[in-house]
Structures are given as structure tokens and as C-alpha cells.
């Protein structure tokens, strides 16, 4: 795909502005010029057309406009002309990156993924050791072994120590359920999602896809379980067209996998002391991008004694936590502003626990709750994997 190929999609835009109503980045760019057209979907399309026609020259302002989109997909949902705005934005980012026009930290992230195979530029040999801690023996006994189910950990869970609890609880849950499971260990490569979102080269993403799929297939795996919607969406929707063939296994988000185990009676979830009123935050890449809203809620409701409440803007309307679209990489201030906006949504629900289903959202919602703490309100944040692990008695 090239930006030129996207021209017919861009020209479907009639500039009605309906997409602006729900775009979070129009306001989140408060440190730039809030409400300025280039920080919204309609203006971003016009920037793309201008770049293509040579009427707009790349500059840091143009980069700010295009790289502060959260990939939340609210605009795609609202557009009456059915313009796939996020496709246009991603392709325009690629157009800029190909010309070296992106923030140094974005280009460095691409280089890290190409060289070290993870976004952090860390040593692949540490991909398991950095998170496995107390369950290292359990993990080591499963890494690289042929099995029916593979847990794809992802870079965030593998390398960000403060997120280690998510993969730890995942292997404990799989073990408790008697699942025949495996992991790629240090052979697992970045799925390519951060590159896709921030204009990375298609060939580089394709190489990651081919390598990951080949190694998983070699273990005879039938299904791959994900705790990260970014990895999950990339496998499910980006890999098949890039590789020109369907995946040789079924990708499943943890909530889909878990709901199956609850329904077939394998998993018995018990009441949890101290967790009563919870609200579920829909990750953009799982909800609006893939339509997965019910499964996480059904898993939560399967835990006796839990009251699940909803945000005023819930499901298809759920507001982004600020961590989507690589915005935190380009400009952390814009991301943080959105996290503070999300705090208002949380406060309105009076929930005492927020359940996330994404390592990036976990970080965004933690920031939201920090701003609530500053106001004397204590709200706990748990990933769905952690919640289930507690309800199964393994955490």
C-alpha cells in the first residue's frame, strides 16, 4: 500500500466534521493548539492530501498532527461517508517515516525492533527472565515444548517490569486449568504492532510476522492466547494479508479463551474478598477495532459477588486511556492529558476497581487513578488476567 493508493479513500471525505465530535486528540493537544484542525480526523485527511499533492511540506507541526492520533477508531465509527480514517493516518505516518520525517524516538523504536526484535532495545535473552520471577521454573518447563496452546507474551509484558504480573498470572492460570501450553521464550519477536502504528516499513513487519508464525507452527500449536490486544489484533488482522495466507492456528484474546473454559465447566471462579464494584475499560484495539465487548464482561460477571458497572461512555463509546496509537512515544504530554480526562469517567462510576484487558491500558488507567488519588480517591487497577487468577485461587 502507498499513500497514493489511499487517495480514493481520502477523497470520499466530504468534510462534514461529524468525526470531530468524538476525537479525543482535538482536546488532548492542549500543549499544542487545542481544537486545531490538524489534531482531528478531518484535518489529518487534508494533511495527507496536501502531502501527496506536494502542497504541504513535512514539519514538526505536521508530525504532531499525524502522530497524536490515538488510533481509537471513534472517527471511523462516526463517518457517514465510510472513510477509514485510521488507515489513512497510518499510511500517512509511513509516508513521513519513509522520508525520515518523524520524531527521533519514533525512528529509534523502529531501529530497536529491527535490530533487537523488541521495542525497548533490550537483549532478547532476557525476554523471559525479566518477568518470570517466582514462576521461572514453571515457565522454563514449558518454553519451546510442542503443545496445543501457546501464550504469546508480547514486549510490554516481557520487558516492562511493572507489568510482569500479567504474564505471571497468565501462566499460573493456564497451569491451574491443566492446559497443554507452551511459550516461545527468547524466540518470541515483537509482533510488529508498534511499527504498524507508527509508520514502520511493511517489509520489516512482514519479516517479524513470518518468523513468529513459523516458530509457532513448528510447535504444533492449535491456538494462541494473548493478554495484549495490540499483539492480538496484529496477528488476527495484519498478518494474514501481509503473509498472503490464513494463520495456521486460532488467535484468541484471553477473555475469549477464558469464557470457553467457564462455559465448559473447566474453570470455577470463586468470590473475591475486597473486590465488589468494578468497571471494565474497553481497549480501543479490542473493542472498536475488533468488536470484542461481551466476552470480558461475561468473564467478570462469572465471578460471584462482583457488581459490574459501566462508564457513561461505554463499549463502542468508551474513551481512550491515552496509551493508544503510539502517541505516548511521540508526545507523552498528549497521552497524559487523555489519561487525566479518563479519570473523570472513572470517578463518575464510583467503582472501586477498574478492570483493564491490555498492558498499555493498564498503564494509562494507572495514570488516571493517580490523578484521582491526588484528590483523595482510592481506585484499584487490575488486568482481567490478574482478576481471574485471584478468582481461581492462584494469586
Which CB atom, from 14 or from 222, has the smaller least distance to ligand SF4?
A: 14
Give the containing element (helix H, strand E) for 184: none
In the complex, least distance from residue 268 CB atom to ligand SF4, rounded to whole angstroms: 40
In the complex, least distance from residue 177 CB atom to ligand SF4, rounded to whole angstroms: 36
In the complex, least distance from residue 47 CB atom to ligand SF4, rounded to whole angstroms: 11
Q: How far apart are CA 379 and CA 356, in angstroms?
A: 13
CA distances in angstroms from 304 to 172, 213, 272, 277, 300, listed in the order given: 21, 38, 8, 12, 9
141: Cβ–Cβ under 8 A, 6 or more apart, which residues?
A: none
Which CB atom, from 86 or from 118, has the smaller least distance to ligand SF4?
A: 86
In the complex, least distance from residue 151 CB atom to ligand SF4, rounded to whole angstroms: 29
In the complex, least distance from residue 83 CB atom to ligand SF4, rounded to whole angstroms: 4
Which CB atom, from 61 or from 372, has the smaller least distance to ligand SF4?
A: 61
Q: Which residues bind ligand SF4 (CB under 6 A)?
A: 13-19, 22-25, 41-42, 44-45, 69-75, 78-79, 81, 83, 85-86
DSSP letter for 318, please. Answer: P
C-beta of residue 224 within 8 angstroms of C-beta of residue 179:
no
In the complex, least distance from residue 325 CB atom to ligand SF4, rounded to whole angstroms: 6
Tell me the sheet residues that pair with 280: 355
Crossing angle between the packed helical segments 104-116 and 202-218, to the nearest 10 degrees: 30
Q: How far is CA 44 from the centre of its chain?
A: 22
Which CB atom, from 167 or from 230, has the smaller least distance to ligand SF4?
A: 230
Which CB atom, from 327 or from 388, has the smaller least distance to ligand SF4?
A: 327
Which CB atom, from 336 or from 383, has the smaller least distance to ligand SF4?
A: 336
Which CB atom, from 85 or from 171, has the smaller least distance to ligand SF4?
A: 85
Q: How far is CA 239 from the centre of its chain?
A: 16
Q: How far apart are CA 166 and CA 185, in angstroms?
A: 16
Residue with cell 461505554: 314
| Interstrand relation of 353-356 and 149-152 (parallel, antiparallel or unpaired) | unpaired
| Interstrand relation of 250-253 and 307-309 (parallel, antiparallel or unpaired) | unpaired
In the complex, least distance from residue 33 CB atom to ligand SF4, rounded to whole angstroms: 15
Amino acid at each position: 500500500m502507498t499513500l497514493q493508493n489511499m487517495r480514493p479513500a481520502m477523497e470520499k471525505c466530504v468534510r462534514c466534521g461529524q468525526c470531530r465530535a468524538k476525537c479525543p486528540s482535538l482536546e488532548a493537544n492542549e500543549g499544542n493548539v487545542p481544537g486545531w484542525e490538524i489534531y482531528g480526523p478531518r484535518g489529518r485527511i487534508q494533511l495527507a492530501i496536501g502531502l501527496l499533492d506536494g502542497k504541504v511540506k513535512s514539519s514538526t507541526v505536521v508530525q504532531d498532527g499525524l502522530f497524536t492520533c490515538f488510533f481509537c477508531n471513534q472517527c471511523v465509527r462516526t463517518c457517514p461517508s465510510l472513510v477509514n480514517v485510521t488507515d489513512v493516518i497510518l499510511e500517512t505516518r509511513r509516508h513521513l517515516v519513509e522520508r525520515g520525517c518523524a520524531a527521533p524516538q519514533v525512528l529509534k523504536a523502529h531501529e530497536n525492533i529491527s535490530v533487537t526484535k523488541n521495542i525497548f532495545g533490550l537483549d532478547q535473552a532476557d525476554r523471559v527472565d525479566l518477568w518470570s520471577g517466582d514462576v521461572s521454573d514453571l515457565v522454563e518447563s514449558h518454553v519451546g515444548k510442542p503443545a496445543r496452546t501457546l501464550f504469546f507474551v508480547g514486549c510490554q509484558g516481557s520487558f516492562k517490569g511493572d507489568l510482569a504480573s500479567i504474564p505471571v498470572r497468565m501462566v499460573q492460570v493456564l497451569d491451574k486449568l491443566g492446559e497443554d501450553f507452551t511459550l516461545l521464550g527468547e524466540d518470541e519477536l515483537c509482533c510488529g504492532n508498534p511499527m504498524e502504528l507508527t509508520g514502520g516499513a511493511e517489509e520489516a513487519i512482514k519479516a517479524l510476522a513470518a518468523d513468529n508464525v513459523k516458530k509457532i507452527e513448528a510447535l504444533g500449536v492449535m491456538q494462541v492466547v494473548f493478554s495484549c490486544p495490540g499483539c492480538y489484533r496484529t496477528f488476527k488482522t495484519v498478518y494474514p494479508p501481509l503473509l498472503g495466507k490464513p494463520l495456521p492456528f486460532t488467535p484468541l484474546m484471553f477473555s475469549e479463551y477464558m469464557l470457553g473454559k467457564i462455559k465448559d465447566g473447566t474453570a470455577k471462579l470463586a468470590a473475591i474478598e475486597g473486590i465488589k464494584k468494578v468497571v471494565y475499560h474497553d481497549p480501543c484495539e479490542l473493542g472498536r477495532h475488533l468488536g470484542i465487548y461481551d466476552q470480558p464482561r461475561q468473564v467478570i460477571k462469572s465471578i460471584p459477588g462482583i457488581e459490574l458497572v459501566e462508564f457513561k461512555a461505554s463499549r463502542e463509546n468508551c474513551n481512550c486511556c491515552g496509551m493508544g496509537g503510539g502517541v505516548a512515544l511521540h508526545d507523552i504530554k498528549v497521552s497524559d492529558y487523555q489519561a487525566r480526562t479518563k479519570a473523570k469517567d472513572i470517578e463518575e462510576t464510583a467503582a472501586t476497581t477498574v478492570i483493564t484487558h491490555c498492558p498499555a491500558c493498564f498503564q494509562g488507567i494507572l495514570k488516571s487513578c493517580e490523578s484521582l488519588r491526588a484528590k483523595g480517591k482510592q481506585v484499584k487497577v487490575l488486568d482481567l488476567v490478574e482478576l481471574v487468577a485471584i478468582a481461581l485461587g492462584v494469586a
